[in-house]
Every structure is written in structure tokens, then in C-alpha cells.
A and B are shown apart, each in its own frame.
Chain A
Amino acid sequence: MESTKPYKIALSFPGNLEYVSPVRKFISEILIRRSFSEKFAYRSEVIVDEICTNAICYGCKSSNAIIHFTCFIHEDRIEFEIKDEGGKSEDLNRLKVAVDDPKERQKSTLSPFKEMEKECLGLEIVKMLSEKIDLDIDENNVTTIRIERKCKAVDNL
């Protein structure tokens, strides 16, 4: 059992793509300062980018939509939680498929280029770079994604 509490950083920002770059760099810099390797920080930065971009593009309906992002930094792993107000049902269904069906879609007959055109590959990257990804959609469509990424030997190579 882990002996110490994780560091917690909580952020709320408007659903506007302009914020994604500052947010991902913020998290990456914090991880480097907390002595995680540059590679670990870079991979985490990619995760943050992809989940924030998805939340803004598909999970913001109202003009004042806010993205709630929380990062827990443990000694050996990090956890991200991102919450948006929920998007259209077709986007939510797409999200469910992307999260719940880890490899099947990737191995479908579509070429990677076609996949790219479908703008789905962001989550594929997230899945490849993390150990755990959970999706929760409540009755009001408020969508929460939780991601866990462990620090492994490969991150220090």
C-alpha cells in the first residue's frame, strides 16, 4: 500500500482549444520537477493533449463550457481525470466504442490514414500510453475520463 498521499493539482479552464497547449506543458513541467523522466513527462503531455482536445471538440456544447482537469501525482504513477459537460449522443457513442473496444477497431480494415481522417486516433494514442482508462457518463451526459499511467523502466530509457 502506498504510504504517502499523492500531490493533487486541479484545473478548470474554458472549452477552448487555445488552452490545451498551456495545460499540457504545465503538467509536463510539473512531472519533470517532481523527478519523473523527460520521456515519462513527454508521454504524459501527449495524453493530456489528446484528452483535453477530445473534451473540447466533442464534450462542450454551451458557450461557457468548462473543462475540469485533475492530476494526482503518486511516487510511481500519475492519474488524470477530465470532466466535460458531454457532447452529442453520436460523439458519446463513438467515445464509448473507442474506450471500451481497445484493439478491435484499431485492427479493423480501415487503414491508419482513414482512421486519422475519422479523428479517432487521439484515444488510440492515449490507450497505448496508459495502463488504465475508465469512462463514466452520467444521466446528464457529463463525461468523466480517468487515466492511470505508471512509471516503468521503459520511461527512463
Chain B
Amino acid sequence: MLSQIELQYEDIKDKSNAKIIRFVGDLDATNVEKVVEKVFSLLNSGIVNIVADFERLRYVNSTGLGILLHFSKSAKEKGGCFKIVNVNENVYEIIEIIGATTLLEIYDELDEVINSL
């Protein structure tokens, strides 16, 4: 059984190879595989530009961060990107402690990240 996380998808106007994924809940060792499956499904179907909206991502641990780094690497390998927006203070702190702020593309505003695609 998984810790509660839900991924909600939203298309981005005029960008057929991009999607917003809203992460809702907690990302931890018990649900990373489910999240990996869903995100890779998108990447493998040609949606290589992903905007991860963390506004409602309450929690992340080191295992969860590991897969975020991998998504970023994978998306780049496929010629796309994995960009993160609306990170709450608590989650940001964990990203910072791990030293991953320079490895992940993190934005403050959704408009800003969409314009950057």
C-alpha cells in the first residue's frame, strides 16, 4: 500500500509535448515506484517537457528526491526538461540540505516556468 500521493495532469496550451503534473500529498519510499511509473509513462509517450507543480506536495524524503533528480536527468536525455514550481518552504529545505537546488530547475511562478518551455 502506498503513502498518499496523487498526480493530476494538465495540458499546456500550444505545447503538445509538455504537461503540468500536480503532485498532491507525500512523496516517500512507499510510493516512489508508482510515481516513477506514471512520470516515465509520460516521458516515454513523447511528453518530454514536464512542469511539476509542488504547491500541494506536503512532504518529500531522500528517496523521493532521488527520483526527482532522475526525472530531471531522463527528461534532459530525451531532449526535454523537468521543471519544478511552487515548492513549499519545508520541501525546499530538504532539497537544499541535499544540495540539489542547483541540479533541479526550480521556479517560483507557474507562468514563468511555462514561458520558459
Contact = CB atoms under 8 A, between A and B. Distances in A.
Most buried by B among A50, A121, A125: A121
Contact of B62 (A18, A20, A42, A50): A50
A129 to B, nearest CB: 7
A21 B3 contact: yes
Interface residues of A, number: 23
B61 A117 contact: no
Given A53-B61, A53-B63, A39 B90 contact: yes
Nearest to A112: B99
B53 interface: no
A49 B61 contact: yes
Contact of A42 (B1, B90, B97): B90
Interface in B58-82: 59, 61-63, 65-66, 69, 73
Interface residues of B, number: 23
Contacts of A18: 1, 30
Contacts of A42: 59, 90
Could you tell me the dominant secondary structure of chain A's interface residues? helix
Interface string A1-45: 000000000000000011011000000000000000001001101
A128 interface: yes
A97 interface: no
Contacts, number: 65
Interface in A43-98: 43, 45-46, 49-50, 53
A128 B1 CA distance: 30
Contact of B29 (A20, A112, A117, A129): A20
Given A17-B29, A53-B61, A112 B97 contact: no
A129 B61 contact: no
Interface of B: 1, 3, 26, 28-30, 59, 61-63, 65-66, 69, 73, 89-90, 93-94, 97-100, 103
9 contacts: A21-B30, A53-B28, A112-B99, A113-B73, A116-B66, A116-B69, A122-B63, A125-B97, A129-B97
Interface of A: 17-18, 20-21, 39, 42-43, 45-46, 49-50, 53, 112-113, 116-117, 119, 121-122, 124-125, 128-129
